[in-house]
Amino acid sequence: MPYIVTGGAGFIGSHLVDRLVGTRRDTIVIDDLSSGNYINKRSKFIKHDLRRPLKISLPKGSGIFHLAANPSVKDSMLDIFNHFDRDVKTTLNTLEAARKSDSEFLIFLSTSAVYGDTRKIPTDESVAPNPISNYAEFKLLSEKMIEFYSKTYGLKAVSLRLANVVGKRSDHGVTVDLIDKLRDDPKVLELLGDGKQEKSYIYIDDVIDAMLLTVKKAPKYFSVYNVGSSDRISVNRIAEIIERKMRVSPKHVYRPFGDGRGWKGDTKMMQLDSSKIIRLGWKPRFNSSQAVSKAVEDLLEGA
Ligand SMILES: NC(=O)c1ccc[n+]([C@@H]2O[C@H](COP(=O)([O-])OP(=O)(O)OC[C@H]3O[C@@H](n4cnc5c(N)ncnc54)[C@H](O)[C@@H]3O)[C@@H](O)[C@H]2O)c1
């Protein structure tokens, strides 16, 4: 039975595909290449824009990892229609393909952003979502649609609410932004927000472990798991880590939005309580500082 990875040409998807083909699993990537690159040629590739229904049938009983989306919170506040299509329509079309092919499971990547500005930190899955960005709202809508399909058609489905994922091949997020800026100008560093925003960061390998664990261990029907490291670090601390590794000491210029956020829809503080998936058997190897340090090394090596 093959595994399907929508968005398999992107940052997280390409790592998942490497892991799957490394264990000799037949793997099919479905991606429109709007942002990713098809890297692992041992997987099959279907170029398709999932804003439209799939024209072909998936092999019966396939397992599906649904990652295709536009992951930018910032852009979602500027281009709502495009984001709705990429974050919600892609989910509906993937669910229909899953239903028609009697898929064995569907693993979905959601986000810590669904909790918005919650006061309960670390935040566990019992906290009511309260999105403050279109991206988070659309991820929550996708979760609801998946839950409905799961109950109605008996599809085993899992939604993983991820903290910020870092690592090689990442092309967005704070680590990439700060490194790019320092490569352009090592003397001045612009930081979005007041630098005091504190969030949790997780290394890519730990995320892939969580995805594969839930395939085996999550119960049938629909379940939600937080996936994050057990601490959080500030943007100022991330800048320090990067500057030390790049051996530069720039002047900081802050660009706060409103009460110190990086942009509209940004959360100021995020740390997940991931006890539920840890009880299932997940063992993250890196905390936030270690994850960021390792990712910065990857990115500086151009890995
Ligand atoms: N990176 C993070 O920190 C993070 C955190 C939480 C959740 N997520 C979620 O994980 C998933 C993967 O994120 P990523 O960081 O790898 O993003 P990415 O942008 O690197 O990958 C997304 C992939 O989806 C593809 N895609 C986009 N629209 C498509 C469409 N209409 N049809 C087919 N393919 C399409 C893109 O070409 C790209 O290859 C996303 O759903 C994202 O929302 C990411």
Q: What is the pLDDT of residue 302?
A: 77
Of 99, 39, 41, 91, nearest to 69 by C-alpha is 91
CA 197 / ligand 1 centre spacing (Å): 24
CA 272 / ligand 1 centre spacing (Å): 21
Q: Based on the structure, what is the number of domains in the chain? A: 2
CA-nearest of 7, 54, 11, 1 to 298 is: 11
Mean predicted lDDT score pLDDT of the chain? 96
Are 69 and 112 in a shared domain? yes
Residue 18 pLDDT > 80? yes
Q: What pLDDT score does 10 carry?
A: 97
Asked if 245 contacts 296 with a C-beta cutoff of 8 angstroms, the reply is: yes
Residues 141 and 191 in one domain: no
Q: Beta-carbon neighbour count of residue 74 at 10 Å?
A: 16
d(CA 47, CA 133) in angstroms, rounded, equals 29
Find the 107 Cα to ligand 1 centroid distance in Å. Answer: 14
DSSP 52: S
Round to the nearest angstrom and report the end-to-end CA distance of the chain: 31
Q: Is residue 277 part of a domain?
A: no
pLDDT digits (tens, 9 = 90+) for 83-98: 999 999 999 999 999 9
Probe residue for ligand 1, chosen from 29, 35, 161 as the CB with the greatest number of ligand atoms within 8 Å: 35
- Same domain flag for 26 and 131: yes
- Predicted local confidence at residue 39, as pLDDT: 86
Co-location of 116 and 184 in the same domain? no
Could you report the per-residue pLDDT of 125-156, keeping only the tens digit for each?
999 999 999 999 999 999 999 999 999 999 99
Supply the CATH number for residue 217's domain: 3.40.50.720
Give the pairing of strands 198-199 and 233-234: antiparallel
User: Domain holding 265: CATH number?
Assistant: 3.90.25.10
Q: Which of 7-11, 258-262, 290-294 comes out lowest in average pLDDT? A: 258-262
pTM, rounded to two decimals: 0.97
For residue 279, is it within any domain? no
Which residue's alpha carbon is at the smallest distance from atom 23 of ligand 1?
A: 7
What's the average model confidence in pLDDT over 243-263?
Answer: 95
Is pLDDT above 60 for 71? Answer: yes
List the one residue out of 37, 51, 122 whose CA is nearest residue 81: 51
Model pLDDT for residues 163-191, shown as the tens digit of each residue: 999 999 999 999 999 999 999 999 999 99
Asked whether residue 185 falls in the same domain as residue 138, the answer is no
Q: Are residues 122 and 110 in the same domain?
A: yes
Whether residues 259 and 145 share a domain: the answer is no
Q: Check whether 282 has a pLDDT greater than 90.
A: yes
Question: 208 and 262 share a domain?
Answer: no
Q: How many CB atoms lie within 10 A of CB 102?
A: 13
Query: Quick one: average pLDDT of 7-20?
Result: 98
CA of 9 to the centre of ligand 1 (A): 9
Residues 205 and 254 occupy one common structural domain: no
95 and 235: one domain?
no
Please give the Cα distance from 204 to 182 (Å, whole number).
23
* pLDDT one-digit tens code per residue, 188-227: 999 999 999 999 999 999 999 999 999 999 998 999 999 9
Alpha helices in 115-217 (DSSP H): 134-153, 174-184, 204-217
% of the chain residues with pLDDT over 70: 100
Q: Is 104 helix (H, G, I), strand (E, B) or coil?
A: coil
> What's residue 303's pLDDT?
53
Domain boundaries, position 66: 3-165+201-227
Choose one of 33, 34, 46 to mutate for the ligand 1 pocket test, by most ligand atoms within 8 angstroms of C-beta: 34
Find the 181 Cα to ligand 1 centroid distance in Å.
Answer: 23
Distance (Å, whole) CA 299 – CA 303: 6
